[in-house]
């Protein structure tokens, strides 16, 4: 009887494990959550370098991901890699990748490098990229042939789709129960440089046809061909529509087999220069000015994500604002790897982002300087690892609070200026930088005491989540946060009723460590280069 009981228990356990739901992106009231194993999950990612997608390179990847405290590795899988000969597929690297990810207790995001990688076909198989007749490239406006493949030809799309679907089938077969792979990127940085669109005869003919009704209705336009409806924007908008439809067809075919969440990433248009010319940026990709087009044309793409390689705070924050929409979950698909980029996870989370994924995290010996760091090793990983160490224990807690409640977050601006947080009618807060733990800045207006060491380079950030009307979770580094009474409490004095430092255990329970009070709270809550997690309870008193 005991043996039967144990057997039955094992069977139930296996069935429960098998019944774990597939990862999905859910939406409620304009908020999003990436659900993994049935609960919200925060991607704390690290993307490996492009050529680390082979078994021999993985030994150089895992140490960096560990040093980074990442919970997700984002890794390319190339079309040329899995289908070097047409119709013959090799997924041995995918098998190795998933096996090793499980051993390292890390989830995976897979990047499909197909028709487009950095707008070009370099990761397509030789039988694709050397056959312009079967797989046509764009025609430039002057009649010359572009480097980029055209999205207007069935042969290219069908070949790409076949390979992508085979990959998704394989993922379902080997990972359909464990869900190591939680998200898929369809293509990489689509679009074209040096032109607004394909200027072939076929493209010109399609431009003269009516704009699809769904797009006309969505944008509130009058019917007509692309030139009539969009005027000077017609070329770029047509190309965006064409690429979006192409990629949506591929994504839809994959989801019919195994519906993992999908996204497309974007090589950005300058958010501070809206008048820049298509082709000077990746025209046709999901730039911020064509997001509405993508939302109509590509319903099987769950989100559109920015690649952020401009370290200045004004530009970075503007891009985050463009992509954090009520119909689009914010996910920083790529970000620079210089230390100044680590702070932006706080802004991303404050905008209810589902994940953050800086680029180039392995010890393969590659450096993308001057875009990234000149040298690369554990010292360069440390700024990201320090911030991730703060949020890794919150990988389930924070996204649940973000999805179900209210969150705020700010990153230190380039000029180190302070930022105000509106926490609702009862409370407000101010975040400041480059302050000592003790004292007020007005005591030393000429800064004779100097600034904390290393603070000349912006690195601070604070994220706040509402736990109840009077209680907040505060996570931060290199910043001071000071609370005050909001409009509803304007005639009352504010006090810090209790400030606890602590952490969350693996079950998501708060674990108290110590109380902050006196010197530690008289001058705001000062978060040094050692990140802290605080639970703050506010109260009032009668003046």
Cβ–Cβ under 8 Å, residues 535 and 510: yes
Nearest to 376 by CA among 385, 364, 388, 393: 364
Q: Is 203 left (phi over 0), alpha (psi -120 to 50) or beta?
A: alpha
Residue 174 above 90 pLDDT? yes
Separation of alpha carbons 156 and 456, rounded Å = 51
Separation of alpha carbons 259 and 105, rounded Å = 23
Nearest to 168 by CA among 155, 153, 157, 184: 184
Q: What angle do CA 503, 509, 511 make, to 5 degrees?
A: 40
Summarize pLDDT for 146-163 with one digit per residue, the tens.
999 999 999 999 999 999
Q: Identify whether 390 is preceded by a cis peptide bond (ω within 30 of 0).
A: no
pTM over 0.75: yes
Separation of alpha carbons 386 and 46, rounded Å = 14
User: How much of the chain exceeds pLDDT 90, in percent?
Assistant: 96
Summarize pLDDT for 10-61 with one digit per residue, the tens.
433 344 345 689 999 999 999 999 999 999 999 999 999 999 999 999 999 9
Separation of alpha carbons 17 and 37, rounded Å = 9
Summarize pLDDT for 198-237 with one digit per residue, the tens.
999 999 999 999 999 999 999 999 999 999 999 999 999 9
| Mean of the per-residue pLDDT values of the chain | 95
**DSSP conformational letter for 85:** B
Separation of alpha carbons 339 and 244, rounded Å = 34
Residue 85 above 90 pLDDT? yes
pLDDT value of position 18: 53
Nearest to 352 by CA among 126, 106, 31: 31
CA-based Rg of the chain, rounded to a whole angstrom?
Answer: 25
Q: Tell me the DSSP string of 506-523.
A: TTS-EEEEEEE-GGGTBT
Residue 265 above 50 pLDDT? yes
Residue 404 above 70 pLDDT? yes
* CA 246 from centroid of its chain's CA atoms: 22
Separation of alpha carbons 535 and 531, rounded Å = 14
Separation of alpha carbons 305 and 323, rounded Å = 7
pLDDT value of position 329: 98
Q: How confident is the model at residue 63 (pLDDT cuts 50, 70, 90)?
A: very high
């Amino acid at each position: 009887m005991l043996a039967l009981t144990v057997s039955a228990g094992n069977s139930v356990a296996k069935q429960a494990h098998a019944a774990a739901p597939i990862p999905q992106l859910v939406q409620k009231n304009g908020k999003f959550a990436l659900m993994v194993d049935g609960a919200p999950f925060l991607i704390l990612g690290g993307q490996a370098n492009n050529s680390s997608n082979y078994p021999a390179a993985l030994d150089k990847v895992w140490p960096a991901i560990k040093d980074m405290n990442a919970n997700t590795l984002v890794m390319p899988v190339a079309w040329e890699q899995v289908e070097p000969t047409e119709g013959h597929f090799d997924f041995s690297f995918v098998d190795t990748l998933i096996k090793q990810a499980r051993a390292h207790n890390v989830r995976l995001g897979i990047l499909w490098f197909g028709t487009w990688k950095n707008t070009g076909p370099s990761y397509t198989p030789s039988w694709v990229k050397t056959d312009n007749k079967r797989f046509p490239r764009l025609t430039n406006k002057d009649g010359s042939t572009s480097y980029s493949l055209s999205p207007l030809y069935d042969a290219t799309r069908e070949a790409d789709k076949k390979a992508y679907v085979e990959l998704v089938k394989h993922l379902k077969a080997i990972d359909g129960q464990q869900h190591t792979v939680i998200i898929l990127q369809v293509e990489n940085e689509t679009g074209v440089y040096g032109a607004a669109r394909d200027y072939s005869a076929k493209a010109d003919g399609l431009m003269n046809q009516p704009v699809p009704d769904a797009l006309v209705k969505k944008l509130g336009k009058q019917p007509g061909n692309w030139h009539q409806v969009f005027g000077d924007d017609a070329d770029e908008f047509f190309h965006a529509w064409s690429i979006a439809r192409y990629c949506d067809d591929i994504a839809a075919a994959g989801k019919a087999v195994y519906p993992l969440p999908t996204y497309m990433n974007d090589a950005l248009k300058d958010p501070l220069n809206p008048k820049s010319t298509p082709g000077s940026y990746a025209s046709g990709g999901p730039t911020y000015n064509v997001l509405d087009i993508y939302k109509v044309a590509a319903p099987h793409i769950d989100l559109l994500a920015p690649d952020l390689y401009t370290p200045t705070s004004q530009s970075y924050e503007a891009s985050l604002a463009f992509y954090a929409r009520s119909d689009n979950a914010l996910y920083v698909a790529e970000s620079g790897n210089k230390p100044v980029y680590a702070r932006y996870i706080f802004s991303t989370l404050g905008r209810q982002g589902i994940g953050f994924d800086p680029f180039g995290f392995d010890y393969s010996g590659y450096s993308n300087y001057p875009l990234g760091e000149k040298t690369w090793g554990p010292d360069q990983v440390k700024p990201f690892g320090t911030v991730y160490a703060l949020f890794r224990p919150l990988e389930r807690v924070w996204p649940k609070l973000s999805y179900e409640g209210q969150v705020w977050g700010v990153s230190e601006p380039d000029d180190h200026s302070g930022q105000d947080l509106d926490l609702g009618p009862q409370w407000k807060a101010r975040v400041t930088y480059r302050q000592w733990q003790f004292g007020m800045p007005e005591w030393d207006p000429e800064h004779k005491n100097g600034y904390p060491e290393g603070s000349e380079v912006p690195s601070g950030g604070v994220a706040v989540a509402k736990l109840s009307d009077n209680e907040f979770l505060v996570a931060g580094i290199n910043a001071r946060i000071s609370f005050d009474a909001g409009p509803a409490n304007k005639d009352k004095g504010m006090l810090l009723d209790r400030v606890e430092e602590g952490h969350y255990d693996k079950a998501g329970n708060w674990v108290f460590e110590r109380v902050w009070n006196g010197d530690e709270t008289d001058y705001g809550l000062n978060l040094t280069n050692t990140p802290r997690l605080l639970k703050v309870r506010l109260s009032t008193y009668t003046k």
